[in-house]
Amino acid sequence: MINIAIMGYGTVGTGVVNVLEKNKELITERVGSDINIKYVLDLRDFPNTPVQDKIIHDFDVLLQDDEIKVVVEVMGGLEPAYTFVKKCLQAGKHVVTSNKALVAQYGADLFHIAKEKQVKFLFEASVGGGIPIIRPLVTSLSADEVEEITGILNGTTNYMMTKMFYEGANYADVLKQAQENGYAEADPTADVQGHDACRKIAILSSVVTGKRVDFEEIHTEGITKISAEDMQYAKTKNMTIKLLATAKKNAFGIKAIVAPFMLQATHPLYSVNDVFNAVFVRGNMLGEAMFYGQGAGELPTASAVVADIVEAAFGADKSMLASWTTEKLALRDNGEVRRTFFVRMKGKRQELESIVKETFRVSEFLSVEGLDEEFAFFTDRMTEEEYATKAKEHSDILSCIRVEM
Amino acid sequence: MINIAIMGYGTVGTGVVNVLEKNKELITERVGSDINIKYVLDLRDFPNTPVQDKIIHDFDVLLQDDEIKVVVEVMGGLEPAYTFVKKCLQAGKHVVTSNKALVAQYGADLFHIAKEKQVKFLFEASVGGGIPIIRPLVTSLSADEVEEITGILNGTTNYMMTKMFYEGANYADVLKQAQENGYAEADPTADVQGHDACRKIAILSSVVTGKRVDFEEIHTEGITKISAEDMQYAKTKNMTIKLLATAKKNAFGIKAIVAPFMLQATHPLYSVNDVFNAVFVRGNMLGEAMFYGQGAGELPTASAVVADIVEAAFGADKSMLASWTTEKLALRDNGEVRRTFFVRMKGKRQELESIVKETFRVSEFLSVEGLDEEFAFFTDRMTEEEYATKAKEHSDILSCIRVEM
């Protein structure tokens, strides 16, 4: 029997208890031993629940119990999660977490301790909820140099963009709807501003490079400025708009960004809709691959957490595990990165065409029926800095969206 | 240094040599040791190639060389592959294969030997080419009971169905095109009749159940009867037609089939086009997930083979590996399975409507502009046997395609 402790009995914690109970038999068979939840650490009590007798309020109880081999951190947030996880690893316990903030901020330190103590620090559920992505990147793409990871990594914003695409709704209405049916939180900042996706792409970039990525260095824009009109233009080109979190490597270095992008219908991420997440990967040998699934939710996320518990409990002494060092990954300055931009501009195309053509090296003009007081265009490829400088001179720009080629 | 031998220097074998060479540095780092190709076994010589000095024609040379720790079988076919692989495992060598015929036919026996000899028998590349699927099913879905696996597992036929969908082309023309540009073989039987996809779904079903699946028991139909007209009807319902290989579990047992299916636009497999493959998985906790990528091709397949070489060479003594026993998995009789059928019928709807409605319990009639001498309909759900019995009485049925709900 392997004793484990769960820290945090919120949505994911409840899910973990449920998965371990519902699939008890097959999990026991796979691990080769029973998994027993000995403690559930939470500030609250949970009378009349399956865990009522396991609830503890004092972290030291589980820390000092040598029977506890695996600790599951599903509290979220940086503290006290960081202190607790650190102490568990130092005490020689395996730790499984779904906490992206923790992994993005302190991953390198925690891997270091885990290595020293010869225990595992696993975090599959921190990115993409139930989508198997961390482990496949390490064990299935082990023959490849990963040249690109581009993900739809936030379910809330993808639900919103999908609604805006299919229903022509505007941002404010869609946000309200998402909040009403529980897909967006009362304070949606972390989702709609891209901060959540940013931490996730930082983690994925660290996994494939083995170096620490400072997520604060990743240029991050949310979806708050995307309008129903932007979506109308996208549709005229059979494109859509998605919040992408992406890291790409080429001869110039590694560029990373979180921002809304216009996407061609042929791109595998184009048809990833609603609250689904997906991670597109390009390996230098494998070529294109994509992992798709439910990026959040009690059971999908818990499924990933329990798969990590199984790995920890299975007890292989030598495994290929995701980790990175404290060495910082150098990211290219976003200003240097060359892109094509979609630009919407107030005014009549006939009057502005020649000046706009010259300034932005327009590759194509776009128009939407009914939007007579404006027009739009795709620029030629130029650096972000060049675009920004030029855009400053044109006060009549209504919106600008990057284009994923 | 870890010495390996490659059996077969065809497309995949060449790819394996290329991947090991191109990504030498990072592979060495991940394994913690150099991987050295000591022998390449082939009947032919390959003067002026990178392997000219490594070519051997005698299997016993590699078998009796104790320095060879990992043998890569990329010859294809059942013999001599089976005999060679068996001897290698018995000699205590790890074996990596991309050979779906071998794994589908002799998997259980080979796992048994591998277990006895405490070596690994790995076969990631045998299904879905470069798509990571075997390993994630075992290590990432370890908390789940897999209730469904449905795949587009054959690139040739998916290329053909995509062409038929987008270009309205007919079967014969598309096959010719596919042969001309190398996507279909001169003898396309194994692909277009579904035999290739059948072996692959048999392997996937064995991986998730741990039991041997007799692929000859899986009802298998190819795409040879699919017509441009069928595709036209599908389009009127915003559906497409794909060759699916699927295994599903419910309270009645496990049903498996390989056949063309009509697919809704909302299904994740709907937009898997051209030579791409994808595997849709439903776990009882994870929910829906999909793995997408290049199902064939020199480098993608070799990438999967080399990832297995890395796993074998990495040398963990205890790993969660895919395998199954000789115990046979009982599949439901296909005749008992209930489905909705799309049926095209010769004649005027007005004249036949009442009799057809009663016989097939029609849920919806369909018509296509220009196809005036025929009509089509979806039946209500009924067993395959019931449909077959009824269909026998109607000599004017032009085609019938199952519907994936």
Q: What is the pLDDT of residues A218-236, one digit of tens each?
A: 999 999 999 999 999 999 9
Residue A101: pLDDT over 90? yes
- Number of Cβ within 10 Å of residue A3's Cβ equals 18
Helix (H) or strand (E) segment spanning residue A363: strand A362-366
Beta strand pairing call for B35-41 and B2-7: parallel
Output b/e per residue, A10-26; b: 16+ Cβ within 10 A: ebbbbbbbbbbebbeee
Residue A214 pLDDT: 95
Determine if the peptide bond prior to B80 is cis (ω within 30°). yes
What string of H, E and C letters represents the secondary structure of B118-137?
A: CCCEECHHHCCCCCCCHHHH
CA B56, CA B282: separation in Å to the nearest integer? Answer: 45
Show the tokens assigned to A245: 């979190």
CA B101, CA A397: separation in Å to the nearest integer? Answer: 60
| Stretch 140-159 of chain A: residues touching chain B, C-beta under 8 Å | 140-145
Asked if A287 and B299 come within 8 Å (Cβ–Cβ), the reply is: yes
What is the average pLDDT across B290-315?
A: 94
- Number of Cβ within 10 Å of residue B389's Cβ equals 12
% of chain A surpassing 70 pLDDT: 100
Instruction: Nearest chain A residue to B277 by CA: give it.
Output: A289
Residue B296 pLDDT: 86
Residue B315 pLDDT: 78
CA B285, CA B307: separation in Å to the nearest integer? Answer: 28
Residue A319: pLDDT over 90? no
Q: Which of B98, B11, B19 has its CA nearest to residue A145?
A: B19
- pLDDT (tens digit per residue) in A164-218: 999 999 999 999 999 998 889 899 999 999 999 999 999 999 999 999 999 999 9
CA A394, CA A372: separation in Å to the nearest integer? Answer: 19
CA A188, CA B116: separation in Å to the nearest integer? Answer: 55
Are B135-294 and B334-404 equal in CATH topology?
no
Residue B318: pLDDT over 90? no
CA A53, CA A49: separation in Å to the nearest integer? Answer: 9
- pLDDT (tens digit per residue) in B341-365: 999 999 999 999 999 999 999 999 9
Instruction: Nearest chain A residue to B316 by CA: give it.
Output: A318
Q: Topology of domain A135-227+249-254+265-294, per CATH? A: Dihydrodipicolinate Reductase; domain 2 (3.30.360)
Asked if B142 and A30 come within 8 Å (Cβ–Cβ), the reply is: yes
Show the tokens assigned to A75: 């509290």
What is the average pLDDT across A57-82?
A: 98
Helix (H) or strand (E) segment spanning residue A75: none
- The answer to whether A303 and B283 have CB atoms below 8 angstroms apart is yes
Residue A317: pLDDT over 80? no
CA B375, CA A340: separation in Å to the nearest integer? Answer: 48
- B326 by Cβ neighbours in 10 Å (0-12 / 13-18 / 19+) ranks as exposed
**DSSP string across A245-263:** EEEEEETTEEEEEEEEEEE
Instruction: Nearest chain A residue to B122 by CA: give it.
Output: A140
- The answer to whether A205 and A329 have CB atoms below 8 angstroms apart is yes
Instruction: Nearest chain A residue to B315 by CA: give it.
Output: A318
Q: Within 13 Å and on the Cβ side, how many CA atoms surround B370?
A: 5
Residue A242: active-site member:
no
The mean pLDDT value of chain B amounts to 96
Asked if A140 and B30 come within 8 Å (Cβ–Cβ), the reply is: no
Q: Domain boundaries in chain B?
A: 2-130+298-314, 135-294, 334-404
Instruction: Give the catalytic positions of B in this structure.
Output: 200
pLDDT class of A5 with cuts at 50, 70, 90: very high
CA B141, CA B250: separation in Å to the nearest integer? Answer: 18
CA B354, CA B231: separation in Å to the nearest integer? Answer: 25
What is the average pLDDT across A141-150?
A: 97
Residues of chain B found within 8 Å of residue A124, distances taken between Cβ atoms: 140
Q: Which residues pair with A300 in a beta bridge?
A: none
DSSP three-state, residue A122: strand
Asked if A140 and B271 come within 8 Å (Cβ–Cβ), the reply is: no
- Distance of residue B392 Cα from the nearest chain A Cα, in angstroms: 40
What is the average pLDDT across B70-91?
A: 98
pLDDT class of B78 with cuts at 50, 70, 90: very high
Residue A294: pLDDT over 80? yes
What is the average pLDDT across A88-107?
A: 97
- A29 by Cβ neighbours in 10 Å (0-12 / 13-18 / 19+) ranks as exposed
- The answer to whether A369 and A375 have CB atoms below 8 angstroms apart is no
Q: Architecture of domain B135-294 in CATH?
A: 2-Layer Sandwich (3.30)
Q: Which amino acid would we find at residue B99?
A: N
pLDDT class of A405 with cuts at 50, 70, 90: confident
* Interface mutation target, options A142, A274, A306, chain B, most CBs of B under 10 Å: A142
- Number of Cβ within 10 Å of residue B8's Cβ equals 24
The mean pLDDT value of chain A amounts to 96
pLDDT class of B94 with cuts at 50, 70, 90: very high
Alpha helices in A55-194 (DSSP H): 59-63, 81-90, 100-116, 134-139, 155-167, 171-180, 189-192
Q: Tokens 């595992």 label which residue?
A: A120
Show the tokens assigned to A7: 């820290």
Report angle CA A82, A84, A88 to the nearest 5 degrees.
Answer: 115
Asked if B291 and A294 come within 8 Å (Cβ–Cβ), the reply is: no
Residue B139: pLDDT over 80? yes
- The answer to whether A298 and A125 have CB atoms below 8 angstroms apart is no
Q: Which amino acid would we find at residue B24?
A: K
- The answer to whether B84 and B59 have CB atoms below 8 angstroms apart is yes
Helix (H) or strand (E) segment spanning residue A310: helix A298-314
Report angle CA B369, B371, B374 to the nearest 5 degrees.
Answer: 130
Interface ipTM: 0.95
Residue B370 pLDDT: 94
% of chain B surpassing 70 pLDDT: 100
- pLDDT (tens digit per residue) in B239-255: 999 999 999 999 889 99
- pLDDT (tens digit per residue) in A391-402: 998 889 999 999
- What is the number of residues in chain A? 405
Residue B389 pLDDT: 96
> 3.40.50.720, 3.30.470.20, 3.40.30.10, 3.10.290.10: which CATH number matches B2-130+298-314?
3.40.50.720
| Stretch 310-349 of chain B: residues touching chain A, C-beta under 8 Å | 310-311, 314-320
Beta strand pairing call for A374-379 and A146-152: unpaired
Show the tokens assigned to B330: 């009982």
**Catalytic residue among A87, A200, A248, A390, which?**
A200
pLDDT class of B224 with cuts at 50, 70, 90: very high
Residues of chain B found within 8 Å of residue A165, distances taken between Cβ atoms: none
DSSP three-state, residue A325: coil
Residue A287 pLDDT: 97
- The answer to whether B256 and B199 have CB atoms below 8 angstroms apart is no
What is the average pLDDT across B155-173?
A: 96
Asked if B307 and A139 come within 8 Å (Cβ–Cβ), the reply is: yes
Q: Which amino acid would we find at residue B79?
A: E
Show the tokens assigned to B97: 């294969």
Residue B230 pLDDT: 98
Residue B317: pLDDT over 80? no
CA B276, CA B296: separation in Å to the nearest integer? Answer: 8
CA B215, CA B101: separation in Å to the nearest integer? Answer: 10
**Residue B196 backbone phi and psi in degrees, to 5:** -60, -50
**Residue B219 backbone phi and psi in degrees, to 5:** -60, 120
Show the tokens assigned to B342: 């799309």
Instruction: Among B139, B276, B288, select the one facing A294 at the smallest CB separation.
Output: B288
Residue B319 pLDDT: 83
Q: Topology of domain A334-404, per CATH? A: Alpha-Beta Plaits (3.30.70)
The number of C-beta contacts closer than 8 angstroms across A and B is 192
Residue B15 pLDDT: 97
Asked if A286 and B299 come within 8 Å (Cβ–Cβ), the reply is: yes
CA A35, CA B27: separation in Å to the nearest integer? Answer: 35
- The answer to whether B184 and B212 have CB atoms below 8 angstroms apart is no
- What is the number of residues in chain B? 405
